[in-house]
Structure 1
Amino acid sequence: MRQRFFFGLLAALVPALPLVAQPTGGDGFLFSAPHATFSVRGGFARPDASSDVFSFVTERLTVNRGDFAGVSVATDLAVRLHSRVDLLLGTGINTRVKRSEDRDFIGTDDLPVEQRTTFRRIPITAGLKLHLRPEGRTLSRYAWVPSKVSPYVAAGGGMMYYVFKQDGEFVDYKTLDIFSTSLKSTDVSAMAFGALGTTYSLTPHVGLNAEVRYERAQGALSSDFRGFSPIDLSGVGLTAGFLFRF
């Protein structure tokens, strides 16, 4: 049911992304304040990786907590509610695939016991974006000029879908047998986030957008990882890209 809700929310968000108002304006100004902005950013995300499943993996395999950090892509649609407040809808993805070996054992063929771990997080969020200073100023009835720099804070919540998967060779630490298998866990869980960012205007319609965001969530693990507590899905991300005003 949670997965159906998650993908239903995604289906509701995607059609809203192309929202476009009249993009008319003059040299260095718009005819009116923008009704919405759309940003696309890329960067780096570092999960906290603080739950016991990560402790087990980093203890037994040649993996460190920092190895779960990886590439992140984020998109946001902000719809103006007030001169300094926007409704913020967003999604993104961050993922990392890490190859590793068992720290203590080798196979009977004198080769390493190798495996691969995949950790992927996909948030779908809604919240409020508060501009710490005016985004721009009105010069006349028909002219709006964006500020060169526009800092903001944002907060909200939503749902996070995750995948934690391991495949390859593993050691049964009771019998010391080596076996090949694939272990996988997925879930959709509630999440919250807070963000701090800024936009630097290049033109009335386009700006550079940078943001640091912290996400807080945890998810249930499947029977493949029976005996572990919920997986920690929290982490911090730093992204930068372009913002478009409409």
Structure 2
Amino acid sequence: MKTLIKLEIVRTLRNRKFMFFSVLYPGLIFLLFTASADKATKIGDTGISYVSYYMVAMAAFGAMTAVLMGNAERIAREREKGWVRQLRLTALPGRGYVIAKIASAATVSLPSILIVLVLGAAVKGVRLDAWQWVALAFATWAGSLVFASLGVAIGYLASADAARPISMLLYFVLSALGGLWAPFTVFPGWLRTLAEYLPGRPYAALGQAIEFGDAPHARDITVLVVYLALFSGCAAWLYRKDTRKA
């Protein structure tokens, strides 16, 4: 399994086109969103500045871009080309396949997060305590593993042609309901209630809690852990199910 993890990480890093859009795209979007923003402008009565809010939001958005969009389509195409079939002929367990794919996705998501945070501090003048910067990077990276596992499940469930639109739909819905494009406070009450039970909102809330100087809420962590177990379990089950067909 260790060999496969190393191989997946190397293959991901060699894909220059994917790396460019996954790593640099979120930072460019962040600069575009905050191009004319004054760092003193606050989001409603939250006390959080517009620039700081979107720095955290775009760091999370970038991580989702890297792990969900990349994983789903790439795995579906690997299935079509017969790579996954070759793996099924080995003794690799389902969990090993899922872990390898999540690990390769995590390799890409961390640089995309760090670039947005560096731009926020160096270009936009966001000021946080040292522990907040470290906690933001770690929490955003760790939370992205949920969407990496979702990408694996989609890639193993859908065809190559269907994987991209399915992942894009989920990607935009979850990021929008998570409050990554617009402040969560502007949503109507029923939509806020619904969003709290989907993974996008708890994921965004991790970084927002740290912005306020607090620890992430136990409920948000619990929801993400449940989704991680659910998506990973589904991906491993699909791998084993397909093995029985081979």
TM-score normalised per structure 2? 0.28
- Between 1 and 2, higher relative CO (CA 8 Å, sep ≥ 6) is seen in 2
Structure with the larger helix share: 2
Structure with the larger strand share: 1
Task: Kindly name which structure, 1 or 2, has the bigger radius of gyration based on alpha carbons.
Answer: 1
TM-score normalised per structure 1? 0.28
